[in-house]
Amino acid sequence: MQRGAVGCIWLYALASVLLPLGLFGLHALGPRWFFPALLPDSLSLEPLLALIGNPRTQAALGLSAQVALLVTGLAVLIGYPAARALTFAPLVGRGVILAVLFLPTVIPPIAIGIGLNSLMLQLGLAGTLIGVCIVHLIPVLPYVILTLSSMLSRYDRHYEEQAQVLGAGAWQVWWLVTLPMSLPALAVAALFAFLISWSEYLFTALIGGGRVITLPVLLFALVAGGNPTTLAGVALLIVAVPMLAILLASRLLGGGPQVVGVR
């Protein structure tokens, strides 16, 4: 029974991720792979290294990192107080606020993207890094707030009261208790923010207007070029960074004693 389930999961992983990735890997490493051949006639790292050395790729990589990191920072800065208010403050109409907050995840991005484009044009933010970052917050914030508030709802505020009666003022409570207790939740939320922003194509293309060329935008541009080797290489680059981020996060979150703070 259990073995069957594990088998299904592997099959799913194979079909959805491993197989396409494997194909991309072969494409990226084997530039000479033509039709009837079952496999490329030779494999080499050279095309991949050339791609990484390419200034266009490097610029896109740098820009993607900049955007994703900025969005992550902004999302956590906005999302944490919002989640705290939604969890703890005596709010009227909490349900309505949550519904509005999740609207962007329900509405097709293409539908709002055009409107956003003209709004950003009026604000003079179209085609700018900041404009792209702001628009990325639309799909990112709901996930960040949901992650944080679900963690916060299990967070026991007695720890803060305990610190208070022991003599800690508001800032000391925040710095010495609240922040360390919230770190695991913040890390998970930040990871989500980074991943969503990193793989965002549509909003970047619409608002960036061809001037903010992140990796996904570059990838779409390359599709038209039709060189499978470059295409596969860029795709692998896009995948590699989130993989590294998840590995790093699971390392950081896995062993620590912090999770005990959750009731």
Partner 1 sequence: MTTLTMHNLTLRYPRQATATLADLSLAVASGELVVLLGTSGSGKSTLLRLIAGLLEPTAGDIRFDGQSVRALPAHRREAVLMFQKAYLFPFLSVADNIRFGLRVRGVAREQQRIAVQQMLALVELEGLECRFPAQLSGGQQQRVALARALVTQPRVLLLDEPFSSLDTSVRRSLQAAVRRIQRETGVTTVLVTHDLEEALSMADRVALLLDGRIAAYGTPQQVYTRPPTLAAARFLGITTFVAGTLHGCQLTTAAGVWVLGAASACAPAEPPRPAVVAIRPEQITLHPTRPADLPNCVLGQVQEQSYRGDVIEYLLKVAGLPEAVRVRRPTSDAPDPIGPEVWLHLPPAALWEVRAG
Q: How far apart are CA 233 and CA 80, in angstroms?
A: 36
Range 70-73 contact pairs with CB under 8 angstroms and sequence separation of 24 or more: 70/129, 70/133, 71/133, 71/136, 71/137, 71/140, 71/193, 71/194, 71/197, 72/190, 72/193, 72/194, 72/197
**Which is closer to partner 1, CB of 164 or CB of 199?**
164
Q: Taking the complex as a whole, how short is the minimal distance between the CB of residue 159 and partner 1, in angstroms?
A: 5
Q: Taking the complex as a whole, how short is the minimal distance between the CB of residue 156 and partner 1, in angstroms?
A: 8
Select the span of 48-56, 76-84, 152-160, 242-250 touching partner 1 (CB under 8 A).
Answer: 152-160
Dihedral angle, C-alpha 240, 246, 249, 254, nearest 10 °: -130
Q: Is 257 in the site for partner 1 (CB under 8 A)?
A: yes
Quote the distance between the C-alpha of residue 256 and its chain's center: 23
> Rg (Cα) of the chain, in Å, rounded?
22
Q: Taking the complex as a whole, how short is the minimal distance between the CB of residue 173 and partner 1, in angstroms?
A: 8
The tally of CA atoms less than 13 A away on the side-chain side of residue 9 is 6
With CB under 8 A as the contact rule, the residue among 33, 102, 159, 201 that binds partner 1 is 159
Q: How far apart are CA 26 and CA 32, in angstroms?
A: 10
Residue window 99-138: x/- pattern of binding to partner 1, with contact defined by CB under 8 A: ----------------------------------------
Q: Is 186 in the site for partner 1 (CB under 8 A)?
A: no
Residue 27, CA distances (Å) to 21, 32, 55, 141 in order: 10, 9, 21, 36
**Which is closer to partner 1, CB of 102 or CB of 159?**
159
The tally of CA atoms less than 13 A away on the side-chain side of residue 125 is 15
Q: Taking the complex as a whole, how short is the minimal distance between the CB of residue 167 and partner 1, in angstroms?
A: 5
Residue window 160-179: x/- pattern of binding to partner 1, with contact defined by CB under 8 A: -xxxxxxxxx--xx--xx--
Q: Which of residues 29-68 bind partner 1 (CB under 8 A)?
A: none
Q: Is 7 in the site for partner 1 (CB under 8 A)?
A: no
Q: Is 188 in the site for partner 1 (CB under 8 A)?
A: no
Q: Is 260 in the site for partner 1 (CB under 8 A)?
A: yes
Dihedral angle, C-alpha 162, 168, 170, 175, nearest 10 °: -90
Whether 187 and 253 have beta carbons less than 8 Å apart is answered as yes
**Which is closer to partner 1, CB of 79 or CB of 261?**
261
With CB under 8 A as the contact rule, the residue among 41, 110, 156, 244 that binds partner 1 is 156
Residues that bind partner 1 (CB under 8 A): 156, 158-159, 161-169, 172-173, 176-177, 180-181, 257-258, 260-261
